[in-house]
Amino acid sequence: MAVTEKIYKRFMPTNRGGGAPDMEAIRAARSNVRYHLRYIGHLIGSRNWLAGERLTFADLAAAAICRALTIWAMFHGPKTKRRRIGTRG
């Protein structure tokens, strides 16, 4: 949902839902992602595979998303004091 709101809508024509992002939807997605990641963590701790007894596309998709979140967090994680102030030295 957040990707649609922040990226896709900018390039979509207005008659197909394009336009300014819905910040309420972005806030809801940001709030819900923590719940979903905790649930995935629970599933990882209690099963061999997320979606059932065998490896499925859902497991591969979840792995790709978790990897992308890890990379995002490395570059956009908590800001240090120096980054908050700026690079003025």
Q: Are residues 3 and 41 in the same domain?
A: yes
Q: For residues 40 and 69, give the distance between their C-alpha atoms in angstroms, rounded to a whole number.
A: 13
Look at the chain and report how many structural domains it folds into. Answer: 2
Q: Which backbone phi and psi does 18 adopt, to 5 degrees?
A: -75, 175
Run of H or E residues at 88? none
Q: Are residues 59 and 31 in the same domain?
A: no
Q: For residues 61 and 9, give the distance between their C-alpha atoms in angstroms, rounded to a whole number.
A: 23
Q: Are residues 58 and 42 in the same domain?
A: no
Q: Each residue's pLDDT tens digit in the chain (89 positions)?
A: 566 777 778 788 888 888 888 888 888 888 888 888 888 888 888 888 888 889 999 889 888 887 877 777 777 666 555 455 555 54
Q: Are residues 32 and 58 in the same domain?
A: no
**85: domain range?**
54-89
Q: For residues 63 and 69, give the distance between their C-alpha atoms in angstroms, rounded to a whole number.
A: 10
SS3 47: coil
Q: Are residues 42 and 4 in the same domain?
A: yes
Give the tokens for residue 17: 């839902």
- Determine contact, residues 6/27, Cβ cutoff 8 Å: no
Q: Are residues 61 and 38 in the same domain?
A: no
pTM of the predicted model, to two decimals?
A: 0.51
